[in-house]
Amino acid sequence: MSEVRTGLGWDVHRLAPGRPLILGGVTIPSEFGLEGHSDADILSHAITDALLGAASLGDIGMHFPDSDPAWKGADSARFLAHAARLVRQAGYTIWNVDATVILERPRLKDHRVPMCESIARTLGIELDRVSVKFKTAERVGPVGEGRSAEAQAIVTLAK
């Protein structure tokens, strides 16, 4: 490997009743879900931005503007798959993905494996290269009060 690159991603969406809660392409049973133009999958959005960032290819808003009706209600796996395609076209291999979801409830630990499997499948990488972690915000701030949820991701690419 002659070149190793790292990218950082972060996302936040509001929580609202009656919306689906989709994280890493997996629908989680919940009374509250994430609001947004697309399916509002914060985890997929954070990883998409980390991929784009690692390859210096801009950000998710540049590639998929939320003013574009084509992305209304979009499955964010499409964003993730597109970003993976772009970094491969730029000559990189996706080495690993590590992410954290910060959400007060529901508890997510039982959904870890399906989320990692879904992300690995979408990115076309082995399951052991994907890590997803969960935290609450200890009832503090907008996340802790259940008004929003956040995700952070870091991606390493190699060429």
Of 9-17, 88-96, 98-106, 126-134, the segment contacting Mg ion by CB under 5 A is 9-17
**Contact (CB, 8 A) for 53 and 7:** yes
Task: CB nearer to Mg ion: give 19 or 45.
Answer: 45
Encoded one letter per residue, x for contact with Mg ion by CB under 5 A and - for no contact, window 44-73 reads -x----------------------------
Instruction: Name the one residue in this structure whose structure tokens are 């009743």.
Output: 17
Nearer to Mg ion, 45 or 111 (CB): 45
> Any contact of residue 104 with Mg ion (CB under 5 A)?
no
Contact between 11 and Mg ion by CB under 5 A: the answer reads yes
Query: Cβ–Cβ contacts within 10 Å for residue 92, how many?
Result: 21
| Total site size for Mg ion, rule CB under 5 A | 2
Cβ contacts of 37 within 8 Å, gap of 6 or more: 66, 71, 72, 73, 74
Q: Which residue is nearest to Mg ion (CB)?
A: 45
Taking each helix axis as running N to C, give the angle between helix 42-54 and helix 112-123, from 0 to 180 degrees, rounded to the nearest 10.
40
Footprint of Mg ion (CB under 5 A): 11, 45
